[in-house]
Amino acid sequence: MDLLQIDTTRKDQVTRFIQLPLRLYRGSSQWVPPLMGDMRLQLNRSKHPYYQHSDAGFFLAVQGKEDVGRIAVLENRNYNAYHQSRTAFFYHFECVEDPAVAAALFERALEWARQRGLTKLIGPKGIGILDGMGFLVEGFQQRAAMTMMLYNPPAYPAYAEAAGFSKEVDFVSCHITAQQFSLPERIHSIADKIKARGQLRVVTFRNKAELRAMAPRIGRAYNQAFVNNWEYIPITDAELALVTNDLVTVADPKLIKIILHQEDVVGFLFAFPDLSAAIQRHQGRLFPLGLADLLLEYRRTRWVIVNGAGILPQFQGRGGNALLYSEMEKTIKQAGFAHADLTQVAETALQMRRDLESLGGVPYKNHRVFGRAV
């Protein structure tokens, strides 16, 4: 078996790396392919803003003439500078059902990290803030939430453990129906009083142009809301612009809400219609027919994905949480969705976990991030 380091300037090698999981998951009703344009951009060192400050290596495992596995290894220097660490991340891990292939891929990732003086390897964790984290360890019968969540066979966590990795943190996703999601009237009353006082107000968007205009302020709020999370990475202006473009591709502006204190963004709620079925039908390709089908899926889907809800710490005890959850219920019910996927809340976010379960959310997927010393 050979481990080929991808030359990201060669289109043929990039295509092999990108298309491997299309073969491995052929016929799967749970796996949702990434958007192929986004995948190509992640391997484009001259265009993706990540490479303005950081580095990555991409590897294919090859047996004979067949590609049998892949892995990406990332050195995010902004993460390491902020956390004062020497950490590498792995991502895009896929392989055939063969422990030897998995072991070779992990060892190559460890070697790449050692060569750069890095001391720990953690993953799966990707380049962007919307990339799903962790190997799925529970909920294999459920479909992934669009491209914002990973799906994998049950063997992958075992492969990681056999390679010396152990649990870092779990991210739990909850399912809730519109009928179940019923806040106590007391919460709505608190939210109404907060808005009436004028200290906090909710802003919604009529179109994508308004959403784009507010994006820099939302980015600044993100950079303040999650600074205490272990997975937090400061995002640059160029990365924020890219995330905004990605959001706008799949967003219904009416489902995105922000909370303002005076003119500062202090909270946000990101919800997206689940377009997974259309992405699956077109294998992640938007052109020539995928984009039109995505637009049709906006009207067909009965699922909404809530992936990103936060309020700045200084407003959490001043009615901000009540306002956030009140808007979450309105988002789900007023848009006519029957189901909501509240995605990937870290087990360390104890208050939000308790809040979601008390509101009727049922944990139904669990993703585990693994780590080991290099």
What is the chain's percent helix, strand, coil content, to nearest 5? 40, 25, 30
Can you give the pLDDT at residue 252?
85
Spans of the chain, pLDDT less than 50: none
Asked whether this chain's domains 2-169 and 177-365 adopt the same fold, the reply is yes
**Cβ pair 55, 75 in contact under 8 A:** yes
Q: Would you list the domain boundaries of the chain?
A: 2-169, 177-365
Q: Which two tokens stand for residue 351?
A: 């208050």
DSSP notation for 256-268: EEEEEETTEEEEE
Inter-axis angle of helices 99-115 and 155-162, to 10 degrees?
A: 50
Can you give the pLDDT at residue 15?
98
* Closest to 166 measured CA to CA, from 101, 115, 97, 120: 120
Q: What is the pLDDT of residues 285-335, one digit of tens each?
A: 988 889 899 989 988 999 999 887 778 877 877 778 888 888 888 888 888
Q: Which fold has domain 177-365?
A: Aminopeptidase (3.40.630)
Is pTM beyond 0.85? Reply is yes
Question: Which of helix, strand or coil describes residue 61?
Answer: strand
> CA 210, CA 218: separation in Å to the nearest integer?
12
User: Beta strands of the chain (E only): which ranges?
Assistant: 2-5, 55-63, 66-75, 87-95, 120-123, 135-138, 166-177, 200-204, 256-261, 264-273, 303-311, 339-346, 362-373
Can you give the pLDDT at residue 183?
83
Superfamily name and number for 2-169 = Gcn5-related N-acetyltransferase (GNAT) (3.40.630.30)
